[in-house]
Amino acid sequence: MLVELTVNGESRSANVPPETTLLKMLREYLGLTGAKLGCDVGDCGTCTVIVDGVSVNSCLMLAGRADGCDVTTIEGLATADELHPLQQKFEEHGALQCGFCGPGMLISAKNLLDTNPEPSVFEVRDALAGNLCRCTGYTKIIEAVIEAGEMMNQEQATV
Amino acid sequence: MRPMNYIVPESAEAAVAILAERGENACPLAGGTDLVVDLKHAPGNINALVDVSGLEEFRGIDETDEGLRIGSMVTYGEIMEHPVCIEKTPEVVAASHTVGAVQTRNLGTIGGNLVTCVPSADSAPALMVLDAEVTLIGTNGWRRMPIEDFFVGPRKTILEPCELLAEIWIPGHTLGKPSSFYKFGLRKGQALALVNAAAALELDGDRIVEPRIALGAVAPTPIRAVKAEALLDGQVVNAKLLDEAAKISVTESKPIDDFRASRNYRRQLIRTLTRRVLERSVEIARERQEKDKLH
C-alpha cells in the first residue's frame, strides 16, 4: 500500500506491505535510521517519534495508520549548522552513554517541552517513563531536559 | 510480522459486516498496543486487520443530557487532556494517567483496554464506581449494558464474534461524584497493577449515600465489592466503618499468587487501598459540603 507522510517537514512516500510498522517504514523504506528498534513491544521507547503532535511507539503503529500524518523523528531536531538545545544540553551533561536510548529520549523530551516549556522534575520523569536507559541513569538526562527548556525559553525571549 | 490485509472500514456497520464476512481470520485493530505485539509473536490464524480506530461512531468525547459519552477509540492521552473529563471525571483521568507511559497512552484506546479485558485494566474500576455503561454494535444492531456485565473472565468479554465496543457512557448523575482511584504497581511507569481500587460516594450530612467500590487485579475480572458497599450504605461515616468495609472487600476478592506478588500481600494491599480510596472520597465529599455551605 502507498503511504504518504510529511517527515521532518518533507513529503515522503513509499509502497509498503500493509503489515509494515511505521518504524520499519522510516528505517528501511525512507532511510531514516535514527529511531531505533529496541524491544519491539512498546516497552523501551527508543523507537519514539512524534505523529501529529503526540509521541508514539513507532514499533506498535502500522505505517498505514500514519498515512497523511506529520511525523517528526530525531533527524528533524538538528539543522546543518546547529544542534537542537536538547542535544546541546545532553552533550554538556553527558546524559547519554551508549546512546541507544537517545533518539527516543530526545523525542519524548521535545514533545514535553513543546507543550510544557518549564517542566518540574516530576513532569520530566513522568514524560520519560516510557524511555528506558540501561547504561547510566536518569539524573543527567533529567537535568539536561530542564536546562534545555530554560535555554529554549531564553532564546524565545530574545527573539 | 506475517503478511496481513489492512482494511479501513467506512462506518461501524461496515466494520461489523467485514468482520462477519471474513470470519475468524479477521481481527479489529484499535490502538494496537496489545494486538500488534501479539501479531509479532503469536499471530494465530489472523490474516486481516480491520482498523476501527478512526471510525466517527467510536470517536469523540461529548457531554449530553444523558451524561458523558466517551468513544471507545478515544486514547488515554486524549482523555487526560479533555477539559470535561478533567473537571467531571478526575478519577478516570487519574486512572488513565497510570496506564503504560506517554507513548502507549497516545496509541492505546480506552475501548481497546476494556476489550483486552485483563483483570488489571486500570480504567475499569474508575468507570465501574461511576456506574458506567457500554454500548456495543454487532450484526444484530446495538445493545447497551452496565460495564460490569461486559467483563466475563480473564481476556474474555461478552462481545459476540463480529461485535464491537462502541461507546462508554458515564451517566449524568455520577459526573462529579466524589471519587478516588489508587493503583499500586511495582513501579510508577510501565507497570501492571498489583491491585487497583476505586471508590465513589455522596454524603448526606454525615451519612454515606450510593457508595461504590471497585477493585482490579484481585479476581478473574475487575469486580464491585458489593458487600462492602452494602455495609456503608446509609451509615454515619467514621474511620472504623471505612476500615470494616475495606476488610469485607478483601473477602469479596480472589487474588492470585504470581511472580509479581503473593496472594497474602495482595490481600493486604486490597484492604489498605480500599480504605484509602474510601477515606479520600469522603474527604472530597466533605470539601464539597464546605464549599456548598459558603455559597
Domains of chain A in sequence order:
2-76 (3.10.20.30), 85-158 (1.10.150.120)
Which among B117, B190, B130, B196 is positioned nearest to B157, based on CA atoms? B117
What is the Cα–Cα distance from B1 to A138, expressed in whole angstroms? 33
Q: Are B62 and B69 a contacting pair, CB within 8 Å? A: yes
Domain boundaries, chain B: 5-51, 56-174, 179-294
The 10s digit of each residue's pLDDT in B237-294 is: 999 999 999 999 999 999 999 888 999 999 999 999 999 999 999 999 999 999 998 8
Residue B206 banded pLDDT, cuts 50, 70, 90? very high
Distance (Å, rounded) from C-alpha B11 to C-alpha A150? Answer: 47
Q: Pairing relation of β-strands B61-63 and B179-185? A: unpaired
* Domain B5-51: assigned CATH number: 3.30.43.10
Output the DSSP codes for B221-267.
S-EE-HHHHHHHTTPBP-HHHHHHHHHHHHHT--PPP-SS--HHHHH
pLDDT score for B83: 97
CATH number of B56-174: 3.30.465.10
Convert the pLDDT of each residue in B20-66 to its tens digit: 999 999 999 999 999 999 999 988 899 999 999 999 999 999 999 99
Q: What is the mean pLDDT of chain A?
A: 96
Q: Are B52 and B8 in contact (CB under 8 A)?
A: no
CA of A61 vs chain B CAs: smallest distance (Å):
7
Beta-carbon contacts below 8 Å between A and B: 84
Burial class (CB in 10 A: 0-12, 13-18, 19+), B48: middle
Please write the tens of the pLDDT for every residue from A54-92.
Answer: 999 999 999 999 999 999 999 999 999 999 999 999 999
pLDDT band at A137 (very low <50, low <70, confident <90, very high): confident
Q: How far is CA B80 from CA B7, B21, B92, B97, B195, in A?
A: 29, 37, 8, 7, 22
Measured from the Cβ of residue B69, the count of other Cβ atoms closer than 10 Å reads 17
Rounded-to-5 percentages of helix, strand, coil across chain A: 40, 15, 45
CATH T-level fold of B179-294: Enolase-like; domain 1 (3.30.390)
CA-based nearest residue to A88, from A145, A6, A13, A27: A145
Q: State ipTM.
A: 0.96
B40 touches chain A (CB under 8 A): yes
Record the pTM. Answer: 0.95
User: Do A42 and B6 lie within an 8 Å CB cutoff?
Assistant: no
Cβ of A57 and B107 within 8 Å?
yes
- Taking 90 as the threshold, does the pLDDT of residue B295 lie above it? no
What's the gap in Å between the CA of B35 and the closest CA on chain A?
A: 9
